[in-house]
Chain A
Amino acid sequence: MSEALLHVEGLLTSFPGARGARLPVVDRVDLAVARGEALALVGESGCGKSMTALSIVGLVPKPGRIDAGSIRMRGRELRGLPVTAMRRVRGAEIAMIFQEPATSLNPVQTAGAQVVEAITLHERVARGEARRRALALFEQVGIPDPPVRFGAYPHQLSGGLKQRVMIAIALAARPQLLIADEPTTALDVTIQAQILELLAGLARETGTAILLITHDLGVVNQLADRVAVMYAGRIVEEGTRAAVLAAPRHPYTHGLLRSMPSLAQPGERLAEIPGVVPAPDAWPPGCRFEGRCAIALAVCRAREPERTRLDGGAAVRCHAVAGESPQ
Chain B
Amino acid sequence: MEGHVLGNAFAAAIVLLAALAAWRLRASAFWRERLGEIARRRPIATVVVALYLGVALLDSVAWRDAQPGEASVEARSLLDRAFPADFRERSYSAPLAAVEFYGGAALAHPGRHLLGTDILGRDVLHLALGGARVALLIGGLTSLIAIPLAIALGLAAGYLGGRTDDLVFFLLSTLASMPSILLLVALIMVIGRGPVQVCLALAVTSWVNFCRVVRGETLKLRELDYVSAARALGVSELRIVWRHVLPNLSHLVVITFVLTFSQLVLSEAILSWLGVGIDGSWGQMIDQARDELARDPIIAWNLGAASAALFGLILAVNLVGDALRDVLDPHTLRERT
Residues of A within 8 A of B (CB): 57, 59, 87-92, 95-96, 98, 100, 103-109, 117-118, 121-122, 153, 155-156, 166, 169-170, 173
Closest partner residue, chain A, to B226 (CB atom):
A106
Sample of 8 further A-B pairs with CB below 8 A, known A87-B234, A98-B229, A155-B334? A98-B228, A100-B225, A107-B330, A107-B331, A108-B330, A109-B243, A118-B233, A170-B233
Give CA–CA (A138, B248) in the complex, Å.
25
When chains A and B are docked, how far (Å) is the Cα of A166 from the Cα of B229? 9
Please count how many residues in chain B sit with their CB below 8 Å of the partner chain's CB atoms.
21
B232 at the interface (CB under 8 A from A): yes
Q: A91 with B229: in contact, given A109-B247, A156-B334 (CB under 8 Å)?
A: no
Q: How far is B288's CA from A282's CA once the two chains are assembled, in angstroms? A: 76
Q: Are A121 and B235 in contact (CB under 8 A)?
A: yes
Binding site for A on B (CB under 8 A): 224-226, 228-236, 243-244, 247-248, 250, 330-331, 333-334
Using CB atoms, name the residue of chain A closest to B223: A61
Q: How far is the CA of A90 from the CA of B232 in the complex (A)?
A: 6
Q: CA–CA, A87 to B235, complex, Å? A: 7
Which B residues are in CB contact (< 8 Å) with A88? 234
> What's the nearest-Cβ distance from chain B to residue A202, in Å?
17
Q: How far is the CB of B255 from chain A (nearest CB, A)?
A: 15
Closest 7 CB pairs of A and B: A91-B234, A90-B234, A91-B233, A103-B225, A96-B232, A104-B225, A104-B229
Closest to B240 in A: A106
CA distance A170 to B330 in the complex (A): 24
- Return chain A residues, CB-CB under 8 Å to B234: 87-92, 121-122, 173
Q: Which residue of A lies closest to B230 (CB)?
A: A106
A98 vs B250: C-alpha distance in the bound complex, in angstroms? Answer: 26
Q: In the complex, what's the smallest C-beta–C-beta distance from B163 to chain A, in angstroms?
A: 14
| Most chain A CB within a 10 A radius of its CB, from B234, B250, B331 | B234
Q: B235's closest neighbor in chain A, by CB?
A: A121
User: Which chain A residues border B236 with CB–CB below 8 Å?
Assistant: 87
Interface centre among B226, B230, B243, B248 (most CB of A within 10 A): B226
Do A106 and B248 form a contact, CB below 8 Å, given A87-B234, A95-B232, A98-B229? yes
Q: How far apart are the CA atoms of A131 and B229 in the complex, in Å?
A: 21
In the complex, A88 Cα to B225 Cα: how many Å? 20
Q: What are the residues of chain B within 8 A of A108 when measuring CB–CB?
A: 247-248, 250, 330
- Bound-state CA distance A42–B247 (Å) is 37
- B331/A106 in contact, CB under 8 A: no
A59 to B225, CA, bound (A): 13
Complex interface: chain B residues within 8 A of A156 (CB): 334
Q: Is the CB of A91 within 8 A of B232?
A: yes
B247 touching A59 by the CB < 8 A rule?
A: no
Return chain B residues, CB-CB under 8 Å to A155.
Answer: 330-331, 334
Which of A89, A106, A169 is close to B244, meaning CB atoms less than 8 Å apart?
A106
Q: Smallest distance from the beta carbon of A137 to chain B beta carbons, Å?
A: 14
For residue B250, which residue of chain A has the nearest CB?
A108
Q: Give CA–CA (A44, B243) in the complex, Å.
A: 35
Closest to B248 in A: A108
Pull 10 A–B residue pairs with CB atoms less than 8 Å apart, ordered by A.
A87-B234, A89-B234, A92-B234, A95-B233, A104-B226, A106-B226, A107-B226, A107-B248, A155-B330, A155-B334
- Complex Cα distance A108/B332, Å? 12
Q: Which residues of A contact B232 (CB under 8 A)?
A: 57, 59, 90-91, 95-96, 98
Whole-angstrom distance from the CB of B333 to the nearest CB of chain A?
Answer: 8
Bound: A169/B231 CA distance, A:
13
Which residue of B232, B236, B247 has the most chain A CB atoms within 10 A of its CB atom? Answer: B232
Question: Of A59, A88, A91, A170, which is in contact with the most chain B CB atoms at under 10 Å from its CB?
Answer: A91
Contact partners of A98 in chain B: CB under 8 A: 225, 228-229, 232
Instruction: Give the distance in Å from the alpha carbon of A88 to the alpha carbon of B233 in the complex.
Output: 9
Cα(A104)–Cα(B236), bound, Å: 17
The interface residues of chain B lying within 8 Å CB-to-CB of A107 are 226, 248, 330-331
Q: A167 to chain B: closest CB distance in Å?
A: 12
Q: Chain B residues with Cβ under 8 A from A117's Cβ? A: 235, 243
Which of A59, A92, A103 gathers most chain B CB within 10 Å? A103
A139 to B166, CA, bound (A): 48
Report the separation of the CA atoms of residues A91 and B234 in the bound assembly, to the nearest whole angstrom: 5
Expressed in whole angstroms, the Cα–Cα distance for A313 and B224 within the complex equals 39
Task: Say whether B225 contacts A90, CB under 8 Å.
Answer: no
Shortest distance between the CB of A111 and any CB in chain B (Å): 12
- Write the nearest CB–CB distance from A156 to chain B, whole angstroms: 7
Cβ-closest chain B residue relative to A88: B234
Name the CB-closest residue of A to B328.
A108
> Within the complex, which residue of B247, B333, B334 is in contact with A106, where a contact is CB–CB below 8 Å?
B247
Contacts of B230 on A, CB cut-off 8 Å?
Answer: 106
- Chain B residues near A105 (CB-CB < 8 A): 226, 229
Query: Which of chain B's residues have a CB closer than 8 A to the CB of A122?
Result: 234
Alpha-carbon gap, A103 to B227, bound state (A): 10
Tell me, in angstroms, the Cα distance from A314 to B155 when the chains sit together: 50
| With A155-B331, A155-B334 as contacts: A96 and B235 at CB distance below 8 Å | no
The residue in chain B whose Cβ has the minimal distance to the Cβ of A84 is B236
Q: Is there an interface contact between A96 and B243, defined as CB atoms closer than 8 Å?
A: no
